[in-house]
């Protein structure tokens, strides 16, 4: 890969080698499958979310609403309480992030990561010329000044069909992320029709979750590419520090807090979304506001950053999500502790206070029956599921899982 000396991104790119992800990298589709399972659980069992009520109260206060019914129905918010997959990850949502929106300029994040992916694959170089400009210059302009012309040139070169096919391979549905039209030139950005660039708040949050990963993500970007994407989107970097593009979620937060994000707006929506890094914690937030209120978004952003201090403290570790590497599917059990999970998988992981836990186990089992696991199929939508048959099927699956796991690991 050739980097032009003296270019705006030269310092950031000089040490970035176009490496392919090693075989041990976690596939993007598996990461997103785990995030999808978190989102599904939090939607189907909202009372299990430790911060849900406080989150709604925060929105009410930020948007000066007396109660939840007074919050405008054109407000859509999605929050992932961390940037890592572990037992404490929760999904907070208002107005169901499955609502599709015109994505405005926040869709440029898709083009950004698609360009980085092509460079890592060796199919594009920073020195490559597209419509008279280098790729480096176009990427910089697309983020720095949110240039529609730069976005159009890069997107046209990559092709809508190719980008969308890649998004489907990663695990995004067409409703979550879809790129399908160009943006009008500067000065006319708000005069176009509602185009086919669309996304949901949850879908965009999932994209930022991939970008937030520190290790290689197979099929997406290497760790170097991910770090560069975060740097380009950082409000602390020259490429995205324009006050006009930091006038929403992060405008009223402390300068030491880094927000790696992209804004957007048109006649239909004002949006902002990205990764907040507060030093001791990181989280993801995406807001689509069809009321076009930047002022309320600022109030909410500042309040959310303060509220996020509760994320690692308030979310109980007993709300365990486990992604089964053998069955390649989610299994939920809100009654499992980390110790029980280790025993269940025959990992032989030593647990602290093992003697105390063993002495309490019999009394705990007598006092409280084990909760039944959630059905793994869509049969829970049926009015009268056959609990006995499902229980036997689950037991058989778990036994097969244990047997397969032992055969592979020698445990």
Q: What percent of the chain has pLDDT over 90?
A: 49
Q: Is 76 in contact with 99 (CB distance < 8 Å)?
A: yes
- Residue 115, pLDDT > 60, answer yes
| Confidence category of residue 86, pLDDT binned at 50, 70, 90 | confident
pLDDT digits (tens, 9 = 90+) for 54-64: 999 999 999 88
Q: What is the pLDDT of residue 384?
A: 42
Q: What is the pLDDT of residues 233-277, one digit of tens each?
A: 999 999 999 998 999 999 999 999 999 999 999 888 899 999 999
String of b and e for 192-216 (b: at least 16 CB within 10 Å)? eeebebbbbbbbbbbbbbbbbbeeb
Distances (CA, A) of 121 to 19, 96, 114, 302, 383: 8, 36, 11, 39, 49
Mean of pLDDT over the chain: 77
Q: What is the pLDDT of residue 187?
A: 45
8 A C-beta contact, residue 136 and residue 163? no
Using CA atoms, how far residue 125 sits from 3, 105, 128, 189, in Å, is 8, 24, 5, 29
User: φ, ψ for residue 285 (rounded to 5)?
Assistant: -140, 140
Residue 323 pLDDT level (bands cut at 50, 70, 90)? very low
Q: Which of 107, 193, 205, 199 is nearest to 158 (CA)?
A: 107
CA distances from 375 to 379, 391, 395 (A): 7, 9, 12
DSSP code, position 251? T
The pTM (predicted TM-score) of the whole model is: 0.72
**Please, are residues 112 and 72 in contact by the beta-carbon 8 Å criterion?**
no
The C-alpha angle with vertex 297 and arms to 242 and 87, in degrees rounded to 5, equals: 100
Q: How far apart are CA 154 and CA 385, in angstroms?
A: 51
Minimal CA–CA distance to 65: which of 92, 94, 90? 94
Q: How many Å is the maximal CA-CA distance in the chain?
A: 75
């Amino acid at each position: 890969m050739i980097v032009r000396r003296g270019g705006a991104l030269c310092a950031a790119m000089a040490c970035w080698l176009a490496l392919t992800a090693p075989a041990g990298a976690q596939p993007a589709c598996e990461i997103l499958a785990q995030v999808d399972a978190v989102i599904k659980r939090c939607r189907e069992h909202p009372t299990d979310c430790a911060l849900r009520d406080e989150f709604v109260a925060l929105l009410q206060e930020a948007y000066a609403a007396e109660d939840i019914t007074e919050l405008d129905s054109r407000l859509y918010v999605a929050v992932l309480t961390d940037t890592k997959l572990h037992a404490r990850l929760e999904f907070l949502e208002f107005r169901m992030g499955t609502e599709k929106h015109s994505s405005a300029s926040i869709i440029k994040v898709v083009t950004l990561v698609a360009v980085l992916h092509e460079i890592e694959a060796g199919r594009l170089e920073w020195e490559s010329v597209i419509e008279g400009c280098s790729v480096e210059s176009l990427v910089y302009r697309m983020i720095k000044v949110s240039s529609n012309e730069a976005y159009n040139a890069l997107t046209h070169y990559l092709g809508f069909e190719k980008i969308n096919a890649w998004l489907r391979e990663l695990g995004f549905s067409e409703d979550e992320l879809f790129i399908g039209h160009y943006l009008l030139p500067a000065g006319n950005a708000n005069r176009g029709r509602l185009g086919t660039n669309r996304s949901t708040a949850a879908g965009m949050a999932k994209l930022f979750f991939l970008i937030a990963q520190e290790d290689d993500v197979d099929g997406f970007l290497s760790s170097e590419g991910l770090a560069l994407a975060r740097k380009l989107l950082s409000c602390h970097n020259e490429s995205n520090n324009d006050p006009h593009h930091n006038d929403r979620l992060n405008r009223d937060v402390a300068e030491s807090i880094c927000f790696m994000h992209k804004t957007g707006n048109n006649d239909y929506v004002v949006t902002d979304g990205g990764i907040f890094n507060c030093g001791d914690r990181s989280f993801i937030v995406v807001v689509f506001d069809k009321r076009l209120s930047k002022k309320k978004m600022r109030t909410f952003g500042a309040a959310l950053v303060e509220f996020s201090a509760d994320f690692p403290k308030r979310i109980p570790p007993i709300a365990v999500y486990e992604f089964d590497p053998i069955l390649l599917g989610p299994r939920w059990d809100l009654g499992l502790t980390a110790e029980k999970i280790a025993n269940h998988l025959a990992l032989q992981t030593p647990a602290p206070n093992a003697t105390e836990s063993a002495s309490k186990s019999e009394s705990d089992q007598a006092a409280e029956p084990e909760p039944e696991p959630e059905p793994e199929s869509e049969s829970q939508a049926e009015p009268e599921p056959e609990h006995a048959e499902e229980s036997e099927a689950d037991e058989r699956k778990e036994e097969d899982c244990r047997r397969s796991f032992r055969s592979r690991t020698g445990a």
